[in-house]
Structure 1
Amino acid sequence: MANNVIWLLMPMLFMWAKGNIFNDYIRQAYRDEARIEDNIIPRTNLNELSSLLTKGCGGIDADIVFVLDNSASIWAPDFKKQTAFVRDFVSVFNIGPKSVRVAVITFGDRVYSRHSFLLWKYKNEKDVKSAVMDIPYMAGVQTRTDKALEYLKKVVFRKMRKGVEHIVIVMTDGDSLYPMRTHRSARYLKHIGVTLYAIGVGFSVSLKELKSIASSAEGIFRVDNFDALQNIKKQLGVQICPASSGNEFDELPKVTTVKQKVTTTTTTRRPTTTIPTTVPTTPVPTIPPCGLADPADINFVCDAVQMDAATNRDVKEIVKGLVMTEEMQHEGMQVALITSECPELPSVPFSEYQSDNVTKFPEVFDDVHYQTYGDLIEILENDGFSESRGGRESARHVGVVILSQEPDDAEDVIIKADKAKRSGVELFAVGLNKKVRRMVLEQIASEPKRDHVIMIGSRGEVAEVGPRIAKTLCPHGSNEVIQKS
């Protein structure tokens, strides 16, 4: 019996030893990297981080979004430390629809939108705190930081409140699965005026990853674990409230209510236009063309076999409506087409099959292969954005699936569409008429469905599809249609 127990425990002991050796290796590599970096911020702790963020600001008006890693590499108790941090953070701000609004986005292999909340959801401190502590631990199988930042771009900051600060604080314990996509989405947020901070926890997240997210080197913070953030409170506080000297972030009493009038004489309200005296004055950044800030490779997917003259005309008008928008005219936007090839059925003379082999005649049709929509979406995922077709890894991967009738292989289409979306492809689903059920389009399309599902009810609506897609891809662009002869 004892021998059996020992044999059962051997794999566990091996994994424990292997884990310790691996962790020691990672820690040493982490320390070596730290020694050669010029700008290393002391590692510290999350416990008092909340009290630092506003005490020197005198009360700013801001939209503040926390992006919390909810993947399996973070243990449930550590995830609770993140949510407790946000809960404490809320206490030092004047939460309200016209002052400070707070959002929390959690992610793992995807954005857990059901377990997140947006800036306009809660209008007071009590409700925000309650919502934060109700966020569950999800143990996502991947770290898709790119999807979280993409969600900020397309949902959270689609319409930005004017005259306030826009701040995002990303906390993660590991590198994202697609670093280039993470960098691309972070770059776009910076272009539209969002200030990003990156907090790396533990030894698995690289400095390169944090640099690609943060707006500046001063916005990068690295700590050993979730219990070690205390020493960075002053640095982070000075970054968010540059009008402050930073001394007031050292030892400050806890603010117990945000409804009391602030009487502290050492703090002043920071106008949104205040620029740190240590930083040269620069013009207010303008929003760059969408193709430069957030380039995209766009594949149109349609079935040529099913097209009659009217369908062909509609598809052409949709394509024209998109490519003729102003945002599509800038460098960085590419379009391509994936469609079925008409099957070739060779003519067969009477002399080919006679009485001695006439039973083999049906085999002529065996070589005819019709490409279904499932096949086309599989091509889109596997080869649609390949280098051989001119695709770019650094660009968004977008597919516009146009259906003139509900596909016979609808179930297979939905399965392959889901696989394509999980690989990082953003899918629009367009139904040219009422023959295609909205339910099918919604299962093909990406989130949010209201932007990625388009049903055409009349001929006059076809011309609106292209500009509508452009508006979703470039929410801050003009999307005006350029008239060309």
Structure 2
Amino acid sequence: MLRAFLLLSFGALAHAACQGEADVLLILDSSGSIGKANYDLLAKFSADLTSNFTVAPDAIQFGTIIFSDSVQNIFNFNQFTNNSQVAQALLKIPYLSQSTHTAQALDYARTNSFTAAQGARPNAGKIAVVITDGNSQNAAETAAAAARLKQSGVTVIAVGVGSSISQTELKAIASGDSNVFNVNNYSVLDAIRAGLVTQACEAATTQAPTPTVLKECDRDADILLILDSSTSIGRPNYASLANFAADLTSNFKVGPSQIQFSALLFSNTVHNLFDFNRYHTNAEIQQALIHMPYLSGFTHTAAALDYARTNSFTAAHGSRTNVAKIAIVITDGNSQNHFETAQAAERLKNSGVKVIAVGVGGSISNNELLAIASTPADIFNVNDYSVLDDIKGELLVSACNDAVTLAATIPVETDEGTAHCEGEADILLILDSSTSIGRSNYATLANFAAGLTRNFHIGPDAIQFGAVLFSDNIRNLFDLNHFHTNDEISQALIHMPYLTGSTHTSLALDYAHNTAFTAQHGSRNNVGKIAIVITDGNSQNHAQTAQAAERLKNSGVKVIAVGVGNSISRAELLAIASDEKDIFNVNDYSVLNEIKNALVTSACEVATTTPAPTTTTTTTTTTTTTTRPTTTTSQIVVCESAADVLLILDSSGSIGKDNYALQANFSAELAKNFKIGPNNIQFSAIIFSTTVQELFDFQKYHTNNEIAQALLNMNYMSASTHTAEALNYARTHSFTPAAGSRPNVGKIAVVVTDGNSQDAAATATAATQLKQSGVKVIAIGVGSSISQAELQAIASTPADIFNVNDYKVLDDIRANLVNTACHSIPVTQAPAA
């Protein structure tokens, strides 16, 4: 196999040529944020880049698309056969301007560019190079589209230009962190050309991962088809759906000891078509599907998802206990209630069911599909029912792989004769679900975790277990108060989904601190708190992981760290664990059971003793002393640092007067946890709806009582949620000397809101500008109407996001919120004399 050894010096770069065999697609941002002058630089860079590859029908082929509000195909892979032709076409690319719809471009690449019709070759490597300078219009849709593209066998390289695009988005687009490149502006793009060519050439000269093609799946699983039968489909399309469903089942080996199928239809009501144990041959299943009745009516997706959990996946309907459980939802419209659908989907997934979502047509939002599916990679889209067959191969592979993934064929071992714990504690399992583990090892991990919990006496007055998974994102498997028996916990762990992705350990530790160990998620006040982290690889950011672990430990949680294999460093385990004796190591997942007794003993030490409060930590420098908050598991913290804290409070119509009063009371109580004064904390507050109103600036009040009274008396504006205007006001007015802000102290903004802003893109831009000005932004989302993507765009880091179900329980997060705010204040800063 050919491999180019590239010369990395700039002088020799023009002569280095990649001679592999690959189809390379350039996906170029053509939005308004770039500007015509920079766009010309992008065109020239692209043309120069292609000169480093040998272009020919049996070597490298280039294709190019550009995107803004829409996607435009510039040329197909087989259109040009030499470097000169490709370069000339790139130098002439048109400028579209408008917005940054990255998701559309990634989906176009998968469904159009990388097809035989546009010159893509079946046995050549497939590479996409995305170059963009701004965040996409919808980060969630972009991540989902990128996951689909990568899953289809394409290596994606992401190039971010300037500081406006988030690293999170680039990482979501790219095939691994090594495929992310950054430059400050378009004029210096050439500085990364050598590295970019090297990465692309490695992919081109390495055998491309060919998407698996299965003729038949002979695994062991219960698969439920959840089929939309609403009026929006129409009878001709419904017939196509029936034929597709019948045809899909023919690719599975059906039987009581292999694949079992069940099916239900939904519209206004849910209609159970047949149970898992009803049919034992493909022919019987196909006949039942082909003749399924058409219900018509509205799209009550939530009812179908709840029925699946409470009826279909039960023994009474033929579902088996020790096999993988998979639901395939096919729908063409948004549900009647997105919130209810998202909650029903979460309940179904938390019960151990892998959910695959198929969206047909353009009427259903990608956000709803994301809420339904287990991961972005479990989402499939087609333009209409007539082309459902185009995704059959991918859908078959996905479902069959899931049947292997879910460790369901491994029985949970009993633990008679081993250590047993009778204490009282909240124990959170924090389990690595990243790609480095592998499906087989993940099954072993699931079985070990299930077996481990059987060594504890479970109950509301004894041990409670919670579990979270982590990779690129966090998945809450179940809350501390969700299950009350060993069997329930074991089953949930055995069927836990495999996320894949990178190892973002810090996100999991911050989630434990901010969310899992709160009353809202079942944590109790006066019991020991233990987190058991099991991981096999170093985190993406060691410093962030160490800081997140410190926050968690400072909140009164004992952290036990289990390292599997030799890829994770001892230093990282030491940073995570509460003490060196709380570190456990095993060579691989197959021998995890060797440490089970010791692990139970270590955890039980906390369960049988009263949790001790942590002590105040004082950090001293030559310029100032910053007192960090004192915390216990039952006390509210007090912060005595020096900072300017701005409350940015939603005053829109969606809140309502009663909830607004609760928000006012929470804000007043929050301010009491800070030592107020010209040399300590200063508060300011603004409220926003259609406009922004300043309640008081930083220099107006000097006592807690004055601030509390002003907040309790704040007026209610009602109207729309213009979050961007509030963030811009904070930067241009509040955090200025004229409004009393001090130059040499920490600056923190706390945003409390219950709804999505009127303009997500403008909000993200305003938040970025505020953060770049040196302000730490903490975001609090109330209820389920606000998207997590918007909160992530607003907040400085994922650890700075807090969520509550409604305004009544805001006080549940107060201690963690004060702790987060106080710990974010730089210890070397003091107010100017």
Distance 1:211 1:376, change over 3 A: farther
Residue 171 in structure 1 maps to residue 534 in structure 2: yes
* In 2: Cα distance, 1:450 partner to 1:213 partner: 27
Larger mean CA deviation between 292-301 and 193-202 belongs to 292-301
2:454 aligned to 65, 88, 91, which one?
Answer: 91
1:143 corresponds in structure 2 to: 503
Residue 428 in structure 1 maps to residue 780 in structure 2: yes
Matches within 5 A, 1:30-179: 55-57=418-420, 59-113=422-476, 116-140=477-501, 142-159=502-519, 160-161=523-524, 164-179=527-542
* In 2: Cα distance, 1:286 partner to 1:404 partner: 33
Structure-2-length-normalised TM-score: 0.33
Q: Secondary structure at the match of 1:240?
A: helix
* In 1: Cα distance, 2:666 partner to 2:423 partner: 45
1:332, distance to aligned residue in structure 2 (A): 10
Distance 1:468 1:238, change over 3 A: closer
1:401 corresponds in structure 2 to: 751
Between Structure 1 and Structure 2, the one with more strand by share is: 2
Larger mean CA deviation between 175-184 and 64-73 belongs to 175-184
8 Å CA contact 2:755, 2:785 repeated in 1 = no
1:183 corresponds in structure 2 to: 546
8 Å CA contact 2:573, 2:583 repeated in 1 = yes
2:609 corresponds in structure 1 to: 272
Letter in 2 for 1:155: T
1:325 aligned to 672, 684, 704, which one?
Answer: 672
2:261 corresponds in structure 1 to: none
* In 1: Cα distance, 2:726 partner to 2:533 partner: 37
Q: Deviations over 1:392-437 (max 9, x none)?
A: 8xxxx9642378999663443258769999xx9641369xxxxxx9
Matches within 5 A, 1:251-266: none
- Aligned Cα RMSD in Å? 5.7
Letter in 2 for 1:138: L
* In 2: Cα distance, 1:53 partner to 1:374 partner: 60
8 Å CA contact 1:399, 1:428 repeated in 2 = no
Distance 1:225 1:271, change over 3 A: closer
Residue 228 in structure 1 maps to residue 620 in structure 2: no
8 Å CA contact 1:52, 1:236 repeated in 2 = no
8 Å CA contact 1:301, 1:377 repeated in 2 = no
Distance 1:189 1:121, change over 3 A: same
* In 2: Cα distance, 1:405 partner to 1:236 partner: 43
1:286, distance to aligned residue in structure 2 (A): 4.4
8 Å CA contact 1:70, 1:106 repeated in 2 = yes
8 Å CA contact 1:167, 1:195 repeated in 2 = yes
Letter in 2 for 1:473: L
1:208, distance to aligned residue in structure 2 (A): 1.6
8 Å CA contact 1:399, 1:426 repeated in 2 = yes
1:291 aligned to 624, 629, 634, which one?
Answer: 629
* In 2: Cα distance, 1:442 partner to 1:377 partner: 23
**Alignment gaps of 5+ in structure 1:** 17-46, 244-269, 274-282, 304-313, 343-370, 431-436, 456-463, 478-485
The aligned length equals 342
1:225, distance to aligned residue in structure 2 (A): 2.3
* In 2: Cα distance, 1:474 partner to 1:179 partner: 24
Q: Secondary structure at the match of 2:533?
A: strand
Letter in 2 for 1:291: P
8 Å CA contact 2:452, 2:596 repeated in 1 = no
1:150, distance to aligned residue in structure 2 (A): 1.7
Distance 1:53 1:106, change over 3 A: farther
Q: Deviations over 1:263-298 (max 9, x none)?
A: xxxxxxx8435xxxxxxxxx9434648636698988
2:804 corresponds in structure 1 to: 450
Q: Secondary structure at the match of 2:457?
A: coil
Distance 1:240 1:319, change over 3 A: closer
Q: Deviations over 1:172-226 (max 9, x none)?
A: 1223334344333323333343221101223332212111111110111233322
Q: Secondary structure at the match of 2:431?
A: strand
Letter in 2 for 1:325: K
* In 1: Cα distance, 2:596 partner to 2:818 partner: 36
Distance 1:285 1:203, change over 3 A: same
* In 2: Cα distance, 1:468 partner to 1:230 partner: 37
Q: Which has the higher contact order (CA 8 A, sep 6+)?
A: 1
8 Å CA contact 1:374, 1:409 repeated in 2 = no
Distance 1:172 1:197, change over 3 A: same
8 Å CA contact 1:374, 1:413 repeated in 2 = no
* In 2: Cα distance, 1:469 partner to 1:100 partner: 23
* In 1: Cα distance, 2:605 partner to 2:416 partner: 11
8 Å CA contact 1:53, 1:233 repeated in 2 = no
1:391, distance to aligned residue in structure 2 (A): 8.2
8 Å CA contact 1:158, 1:476 repeated in 2 = no
* In 2: Cα distance, 1:139 partner to 1:323 partner: 39
Query: Identity of aligned pairs, percent?
Result: 23
Letter in 2 for 1:449: N
* In 1: Cα distance, 2:485 partner to 2:460 partner: 8
Q: Secondary structure at the match of 2:588?
A: coil
8 Å CA contact 1:50, 1:86 repeated in 2 = no
Letter in 1 for 2:570: L
8 Å CA contact 1:211, 1:220 repeated in 2 = yes
Letter in 2 for 1:150: D
2:566 corresponds in structure 1 to: 203
8 Å CA contact 1:52, 1:237 repeated in 2 = no
* In 2: Cα distance, 1:154 partner to 1:476 partner: 9
1:476, distance to aligned residue in structure 2 (A): 12
* In 2: Cα distance, 1:210 partner to 1:234 partner: 20
Structure-1-length-normalised TM-score: 0.53
Larger mean CA deviation between 96-105 and 402-411 belongs to 402-411
Matches within 5 A, 1:243-258: none
Q: Deviations over 1:6-36 (max 9, x none)?
A: 99699689869xxxxxxxxxxxxxxxxxxxx
* In 2: Cα distance, 1:336 partner to 1:73 partner: 47
Distance 1:122 1:302, change over 3 A: closer
8 Å CA contact 2:779, 2:802 repeated in 1 = no
8 Å CA contact 1:429, 1:444 repeated in 2 = no
